[in-house]
Chains A and B, each alone.
Chain A
């Protein structure tokens, strides 16, 4: 599958959602990221693939981690980068976000990396723009590069996703990371369990092909990887659970829970982590944690995405 995909070109102009990708395309991105990582480890962190190209980070929602990662990824590919952080929505600025994007594009941008608090906003932009659009997180819809880097990290540790059981734990309702993980993991043959308080599990999510649990202790024994989704206090309207202490008691990953899990369980978290809420410090810093590997891998996954989109542009 991956061999065949490597021989043919990358045709997709935009990366908007893992839902859209074939398994072979996901493998192709992961393989490309692995090559970048290998070269970096061999002392060649920089590539000239995007020399003379411009990558714009258009962030309509605050971000430090993802924007920094995209910025460095573009620089490692020798692209010029511009950052545009728009505070607030179209309405507060008096300019529509489409006009904002058209303005930035007119500066000669080749790839637009877009983060927005509204689901579908990058898709809408892709219909109005000529450049490549890369979704860096759209509201509670998808965050494809985060999903890819989570999967890359698991694949790196385990060789393959097929047959693994991955539990996504926490605030599923407000999590774009959960949605991208579900699509990507399912396409690569993993079993997915979503686990969290009933108030933070969206309706009919089982129809996406996942199992639903409200009891972390029940699922631990059969889980190979636990991805701890942050409780997104900023997206919640009112209280979805009675207290942080009760949340931590029911769904927090503690050292004791790790000891009751599979011996080689992997602990992931997309971050930023709330220590003492979804994860205790001993687990975050412990031997099962691959949280910082995720951050490292994020750079290579984003280099892979940028270079493949550029390939599609060059072919077009």
Chain B
């Protein structure tokens, strides 16, 4: 039985509200009971000065394979994940073909096993071809390994289709993850609709486009009694609506990305396509509301919204450039900058948004250091200073607005099932 001892670290386990300096012992790929003594372990990791936490989980990552391996493959994307401290990622079905059949879900799982970096759980499509019309074979997708359902960045505009999707996924006890946006209000949009879109002459995407859909989705979750998860919430009114719905018992959750906390629409003044994301970067007022939502738990998940695109797809006119940036390898430092150093969240809170929150969303048993749990562990150096260098990314793509940014904190060890993968 292989054994591993992680010595002298600060163990933070939000599932049990544990925050203490202790050794962590892993036996045969599982967390051993506290106080377990192993004579001459196979491996010892000195975690002095490090945070030892459950392996981080990113609920929704675009890995672009099959169909777009010029941008990313499951191998390169999972390598980026472990370098960023993630031991499990949810894989978006927005590939070519779309993951809307059992076979396509099994392909994702198989490629992830071959890559042998981190765990990959497929998210299945809600509708066939992401067309927003007919439901995909959800039960069969679950047989193929799918843990939840989403049509990725394609909003399900037809309310009757969404109602049935929620009812059906609810029957299967799985969440539907939705990109809340009214398509016609953001048509041809490039950035947040406001002062800077006016100044720059770039087509705006009003916050109301998100808020209207958030309200609709909450109403449909109430109607169906099913769970809905709103991806990448970016507006103040959205946070308020979600908070109120949760208070009256609606099964609605939501996530936020680090870049929506770190950057505003003013960044587009550079016309740099690496600031073109969907939902768009908004203003300080919206950021403050997102931080409030993270503090009180209205937003219980942080996602990288990893969207890799090759250089030639980013070197086009800004209205032709696809939305999105890579994020897996910058989540920790950007969260440290925006949430920890500013005092908005404790480490316990931040880690919960990256472990227990996404584990609950996807119905995973991981995300904790409980005795007997699979030994998915992330080691974080909270104070190391470094400069983000996109050329060193493990991801195949370099589309980040954070290249050259001086930051603090990073993953220094990623252990998946007791085996060190980074």
Interface residues of A (CB under 8 A from B): 19, 89-91, 96-98, 116-121, 123-124, 138-142, 176, 179, 202-205, 207-208, 237
- Closest approach, in angstroms, between the C-beta of A140 and any C-beta of chain B? 4
- Asked whether B198 is an interface residue with its Cβ less than 8 Å from the other chain, the reply is yes
A119 and B201 in contact (CB under 8 A), knowing A98-B315, A204-B194?
yes
Q: Which residues of A contact B271 (CB under 8 A)?
A: 119-120, 123-124
Question: Majority SS of interface residues in chain B?
Answer: loop
User: Are the C-beta atoms of A120 and B200 separated by less than 8 Å?
Assistant: yes
Q: Which residues of B contact A203 (CB under 8 A)?
A: 193-195, 197-198, 204, 206
Tell me which of B187, B198, B199, B317 contacts A90 (CB under 8 A). B317
- Asked whether B202 is an interface residue with its Cβ less than 8 Å from the other chain, the reply is yes
User: Are the C-beta atoms of B193 and A140 separated by less than 8 Å?
Assistant: no
- Closest approach, in angstroms, between the C-beta of B350 and any C-beta of chain A? 34
A96 and B312 in contact (CB under 8 A), knowing A89-B320, A120-B318, A237-B187?
yes
7 closest pairs, A vs B, by CB?
A120-B271, A141-B201, A140-B201, A118-B317, A202-B198, A204-B195, A119-B201
- Closest approach, in angstroms, between the C-beta of B206 and any C-beta of chain A? 8
Q: Which residues of A contact B187 (CB under 8 A)?
A: 237
Q: Which residues of B contact A119 (CB under 8 A)?
A: 200-202, 271, 318-319
User: Are the C-beta atoms of A96 and B315 separated by less than 8 Å?
Assistant: yes
CA distance A120 to B193 in the complex (A): 17
- Interface members, chain B 176-210 (any A CB < 8 Å): 187-188, 193-195, 197-202, 204, 206
User: Are the C-beta atoms of A208 and B316 separated by less than 8 Å?
Assistant: no
Tell me which of A97, A117, A204, A207 contacts B316 (CB under 8 A). A97
18 of the cross-chain contacts (CB-CB < 8 Å) are A19-B199, A90-B316, A91-B316, A96-B316, A97-B317, A118-B317, A118-B320, A120-B318, A121-B318, A123-B271, A124-B318, A179-B199, A202-B197, A203-B195, A203-B198, A208-B198, A208-B199, A237-B187
CA distance A142 to B200 in the complex (A): 8
A179 and B195 in contact (CB under 8 A), knowing A118-B317, A123-B271?
no
- Closest approach, in angstroms, between the C-beta of B416 and any C-beta of chain A? 40
User: Are the C-beta atoms of A139 and B201 separated by less than 8 Å?
Assistant: yes
Q: Which residues of B contact A124 (CB under 8 A)?
A: 271, 317-318
Nearest chain B residue, comparing its CB with the CB of A208: B199
User: Are the C-beta atoms of A176 and B201 separated by less than 8 Å?
Assistant: yes
CA distance A202 to B199 in the complex (A): 9
Given A118-B318, A119-B319, 13 other A-B contacts at CB below 8 A?
A: A19-B199, A90-B316, A90-B320, A91-B320, A117-B317, A118-B317, A120-B271, A124-B318, A140-B201, A140-B202, A203-B197, A203-B204, A207-B195
Q: Which residues of B contact A202 (CB under 8 A)?
A: 197-198, 204
- Closest approach, in angstroms, between the C-beta of A235 and any C-beta of chain B? 10
What is the number of contacts between chain A and chain B, taking CB atoms within 8 Å?
70
Q: Which residues of A contact B194 (CB under 8 A)?
A: 203-204
Query: What string of 1s and 0s marks CB contacts (under 8 Å) between B209-228 and chain A?
Result: 00000000000000000000
Question: Majority SS of interface residues in chain A?
Answer: mixed
CA distance A19 to B196 in the complex (A): 13
Nearest chain A residue, comparing its CB with the CB of B188: A237
CA distance A202 to B193 in the complex (A): 9
CA distance A97 to B316 in the complex (A): 7
Interface residues of B (CB under 8 A from A): 187-188, 193-195, 197-202, 204, 206, 271, 312, 315-320
A179 and B317 in contact (CB under 8 A), knowing A124-B271, A203-B193, A204-B194?
no
* Most B C-beta atoms less than 10 A away, residue of A118, A138, A142, A205: A118
Q: Which residues of A contact B195 (CB under 8 A)?
A: 203-204, 207
- Closest approach, in angstroms, between the C-beta of A143 and any C-beta of chain B? 10
- Closest approach, in angstroms, between the C-beta of B264 and any C-beta of chain A? 14
CA distance A120 to B190 in the complex (A): 12
CA distance A207 to B197 in the complex (A): 12
- Closest approach, in angstroms, between the C-beta of A14 and any C-beta of chain B? 13
Tell me which of B188, B198, B312 contacts A205 (CB under 8 A). B198
CA distance A117 to B203 in the complex (A): 12
CA distance A207 to B206 in the complex (A): 17
CA distance A176 to B312 in the complex (A): 28
CA distance A119 to B202 in the complex (A): 6
- Closest approach, in angstroms, between the C-beta of A200 and any C-beta of chain B? 12
Nearest chain A residue, comparing its CB with the CB of B199: A208
* Most A C-beta atoms less than 10 A away, residue of B271, B312, B315, B320: B271
Nearest chain B residue, comparing its CB with the CB of A179: B201
User: Are the C-beta atoms of A116 and B317 separated by less than 8 Å?
Assistant: yes
Nearest chain A residue, comparing its CB with the CB of B206: A203
Nearest chain B residue, comparing its CB with the CB of A201: B198
- Closest approach, in angstroms, between the C-beta of B195 and any C-beta of chain A? 4
Q: Which residues of A contact B316 (CB under 8 A)?
A: 89-91, 96-97
CA distance A123 to B269 in the complex (A): 11
- Closest approach, in angstroms, between the C-beta of A186 and any C-beta of chain B? 13
Q: Which residues of B contact A91 (CB under 8 A)?
A: 316, 320
User: Are the C-beta atoms of B317 and A121 separated by less than 8 Å?
Assistant: yes
Q: Which residues of A contact B320 (CB under 8 A)?
A: 89-91, 118
User: Are the C-beta atoms of B201 and A204 separated by less than 8 Å?
Assistant: no
Nearest chain B residue, comparing its CB with the CB of A143: B201
CA distance A207 to B187 in the complex (A): 25
* Most A C-beta atoms less than 10 A away, residue of B187, B194, B312, B316: B316
- Closest approach, in angstroms, between the C-beta of A19 and any C-beta of chain B? 8
- Closest approach, in angstroms, between the C-beta of B49 and any C-beta of chain A? 41
CA distance A91 to B322 in the complex (A): 12
CA distance A208 to B200 in the complex (A): 11
CA distance A98 to B316 in the complex (A): 8
- Closest approach, in angstroms, between the C-beta of A199 and any C-beta of chain B? 13
Nearest chain B residue, comparing its CB with the CB of A124: B271
Q: Which residues of B contact A90 (CB under 8 A)?
A: 316-317, 320
CA distance A116 to B204 in the complex (A): 19
CA distance A157 to B200 in the complex (A): 30
A118 and B199 in contact (CB under 8 A), knowing A123-B271, A237-B187?
no
Q: Which residues of A contact B319 (CB under 8 A)?
A: 118-119, 139
